Structure 1
């Protein structure tokens, strides 16, 4: 399943000899496999002492790294102890931890470490990374990490990568810093084309499914600013329809709650043609209507909207899920008390959610019915917040985004149910 490393990927494994070693760049470029191979070598030959593996969450660490290690060396040599915060690799017990917020620092205070592996490093608070560095106090201790690029003002790039002593660049050249204050860090930069084992059709599909910012970062491996229109792959002529075909399953409603701001809900189904359709929109803007609604009134409005929606001679729909703005706890309680089935808190990971929507547009598996006026008005004007980008943060500008948020909630929260529609997701290819 895993092809031998070649070229830049193989070269990086021989250069990973610094105190800190980081693989960064495009998705599916081989950086994860290369870093894992170096980590497995370190587990067996590194100095004695405690080891640590870190991910954005323990769940993502298991999915992205530990499950891959199991595939590489087998279940006898890699045993994950769910709930115990440990994984045993080659008989060596290793702590595991998530680092998605500032509180994560408390998880590693007091540890004395001989080595650490970090996945998705840019998702960590800088405070966690700094604390981890101080914990690596065993003589000869090293850390190994992977990440996709973020903005050029991100702390990891400015404080660590730009000060690395050695850099294997995207073009394959090796540059050694002459700055005496350079950090004992080796940086390895990858682009998608650095992985020669990927099928051409798979590479083409990856390039189609990533648009704008995500193309530059996840395909070209650039550390670039989030600026301009977020969904630059959206094309009204391509993605807006006047007729919704036969729907094989009404997958979900994506709902953004608002009282002073607009309330927006979108009905999303999977068609018999294996494409998704935003078929209808329920929207109430209290500023225009000059009337603010209660939770009970909104609940009644949503239920009446679904009950009255008519499609191909059939009136009323029952979506499998109703994904609600996670901050709207009282409204979810109202829906539950009113007997609405499938109500769940939406996944509000903004950047991953935007990427899910962008992939659906890029692979042309998503269309919007022309009646969804609020969504169609918002999409072309949905842009990145330039002030946030200057601070190293990726955030959409919070203006006229209510229907778009509903779309993000619906698609990202149900991504496992429509992932099979994407050609890029149909292949099992090593990272």
Structure 2
């Protein structure tokens, strides 16, 4: 059981003011918003009204890793026990249901529930329909919800329909907007009446317990939109180039100057039928940096022809990757690779935004370099931009045009991160950063 350090500043203010029906802790990564919300949740589990409690996030696994294990570390395993068989956890004698919600169908998991309380991890990443359903389930008198989240687009539904209508807000600079008087004065249904929502916006510097060197490293890992969101806690539009820190003068390496590869980690493949198939070979050099060593760009063909072409290309490159990570949607091609025993094949990790953020952090810290043999990848990176039409809808999404080698790079990097992450000289946030 680990000691909990005394809360200070905005941390203390947030915990003291988490009295609304909905309490949201949002802002920068590692800014202490999660620990504050968990302290509130533990208190609620002990003293909240009787009835069913629920904790939710993208998957049951992320709920356990991001929330339950830290609670167990704070309170000890005697007070927190995980029942993996039936998807529940016992916190201080209260049974809490765990629900993963990574798609629109997740709302069917909670239909019909009557809840006395709920905790939501990474609320902006959940489907809007699921969120609305969950909030409607809090029908026990005195029920409260506690939610965390990192900033996304300023047009995101979670901001425009919920956060912007808070009746009490402790802002990023510590100033307070208090509309509790309007909430009491105006009738339910009045469009000017705020929601029974308390909002607490944290920035990285609100966490006094972080090592200064770690903070400096974290700040250096982010550029552009990621810096504004995950360091400064701003809800800003993803606009322009996706890899803003990429510079050919710094990131392109003549193939003959590549260092000795300690390991050839992966080949990431974006499979195409009407579009090109693209592959990027990734290794980790003796200098501890990642390198896009070469690219595979076969002509269009059947699955059998592509499998044969890949086997020939791997022989020619004289590099055998430990794994070949293929677009999860390419079922027929993966089956062909299995049948031909072309390589060790697995589904690529395809969390697009998490993957982009990881690649961007590697470029920002100059720990991912690209061989000049990767001509198509180098050409694509400069045109790899955010879709402005999707941004207007509050959605972060790359333009789906000439992005196949960028996708292949992301597959190779993120799918193999468990093999290279601990070898970096400059730490970067994991692909799924704990809030």
TM bucket (normalised to shorter chain) is: over 0.9
Residue aligned with 2:402, SS: coil
Question: What is the CA-CA distance between 1:172 and the residue it aligns to?
Answer: 0.1
Matches within 5 A, 1:143-182: 143-177=145-179, 178=182, 180=186, 181-182=193-194
Matches within 5 A, 1:15-164: 15-164=17-166
Q: Is the 8 A contact 1:29 1:192 kept in 2?
A: yes
Q: Is the 8 A contact 1:256 1:406 kept in 2?
A: yes
Q: Is the 8 A contact 1:102 1:127 kept in 2?
A: yes
Q: Is the 8 A contact 1:363 1:422 kept in 2?
A: no
Q: Corresponding residue for 2:284? A: 270
Q: Corresponding residue for 1:253? A: 267
Residue aligned with 1:423, SS: coil
Quick one: distance in 2 between partners of 1:39 and 1:304?
Answer: 57
Question: What is the CA-CA distance between 1:425 and the residue it aligns to?
Answer: 5.1
Question: What is the CA-CA distance between 1:282 and the residue it aligns to?
Answer: 0.9
Aligned length: 418
Residue aligned with 1:281, SS: strand
Q: Is the 8 A contact 2:221 2:429 kept in 1?
A: no
Q: Is the 8 A contact 1:191 1:220 kept in 2?
A: yes
Q: CA separation of 1:387/1:206 partners in 2, compared to 1, >3 Å: closer, same or farther? A: same
Question: What is the CA-CA distance between 1:422 and the residue it aligns to?
Answer: 5.4
Q: Verify: 1:299 aligned to 2:307, yes or no.
A: yes
Quick one: distance in 1 between partners of 2:280 and 2:6?
Answer: 46
Quick one: distance in 2 between partners of 1:340 and 1:6?
Answer: 57
Q: CA separation of 1:265/1:426 partners in 2, compared to 1, >3 Å: closer, same or farther? A: closer
Q: Corresponding residue for 1:424? A: 427
Quick one: distance in 1 between partners of 2:266 and 2:7?
Answer: 42
Question: What is the CA-CA distance between 1:4 and the residue it aligns to?
Answer: 2.6
Question: What is the CA-CA distance between 1:430 and the residue it aligns to?
Answer: 9.1
Q: CA separation of 1:397/1:423 partners in 2, compared to 1, >3 Å: closer, same or farther? A: same
Q: Corresponding residue for 2:241? A: 229
Q: Is the 8 A contact 1:21 1:143 kept in 2?
A: yes
Matches within 5 A, 1:280-299: 280-284=294-298, 292-299=300-307
Q: Is the 8 A contact 2:239 2:387 kept in 1?
A: yes
Q: TM-score, normalised by structure 1?
A: 0.94
Q: Verify: 1:201 aligned to 2:203, yes or no.
A: no
Quick one: distance in 2 between partners of 1:228 and 1:419?
Answer: 28
Q: Is the 8 A contact 2:27 2:149 kept in 1?
A: yes
Q: Is the 8 A contact 2:310 2:342 kept in 1?
A: no
> Larger deviation: 320-329 or 29-38?
320-329
Q: Which blocks of at least 5 consecutive residues in structure 2 are unaligned?
A: 187-192
Output one character per residue of 1:173-222: Cα deviation in whole Å (capped at 9) or x when no partner.
11112463100000000111111221111111111111221111111111
The match for 2:228 among 194, 203, 216 is 216
Q: Is the 8 A contact 2:29 2:434 kept in 1?
A: no
Residue aligned with 1:394, SS: coil
Q: Is the 8 A contact 2:168 2:198 kept in 1?
A: yes
Q: Is the 8 A contact 1:30 1:430 kept in 2?
A: no
Q: TM-score, normalised by structure 2?
A: 0.93
Q: CA separation of 1:57/1:403 partners in 2, compared to 1, >3 Å: closer, same or farther? A: same
Residue aligned with 1:171, SS: coil
Question: What is the CA-CA distance between 1:127 and the residue it aligns to?
Answer: 1.1
Quick one: distance in 1 between partners of 2:398 and 2:31?
Answer: 28
Quick one: distance in 1 between partners of 2:268 and 2:6?
Answer: 43
Output one character per residue of 1:139-173: Cα deviation in whole Å (capped at 9) or x when no partner.
10000000001101111111110001000000101
Residue aligned with 1:424, SS: coil
Output one character per residue of 1:211-239: Cα deviation in whole Å (capped at 9) or x when no partner.
22111111111111111100001111111
Quick one: distance in 1 between partners of 2:224 and 2:269?
Answer: 26
Quick one: distance in 2 between partners of 1:133 and 1:276?
Answer: 44
Q: Is the 8 A contact 2:217 2:428 kept in 1?
A: no
The match for 1:12 among 11, 14, 27 is 14
Quick one: distance in 1 between partners of 2:360 and 2:312?
Answer: 31
Quick one: distance in 2 between partners of 1:134 and 1:264?
Answer: 46
Q: Is the 8 A contact 1:239 1:364 kept in 2?
A: yes
Question: What is the CA-CA distance between 1:109 and the residue it aligns to?
Answer: 0.9
Q: Is the 8 A contact 1:247 1:272 kept in 2?
A: yes
The match for 1:187 among 190, 199, 224 is 199
Question: What is the CA-CA distance between 1:3 and the residue it aligns to?
Answer: 3.2
> Larger deviation: 70-79 or 369-378?
70-79
Output one character per residue of 1:329-363: Cα deviation in whole Å (capped at 9) or x when no partner.
11001111110232011111110010111111112
Residue aligned with 2:427, SS: helix
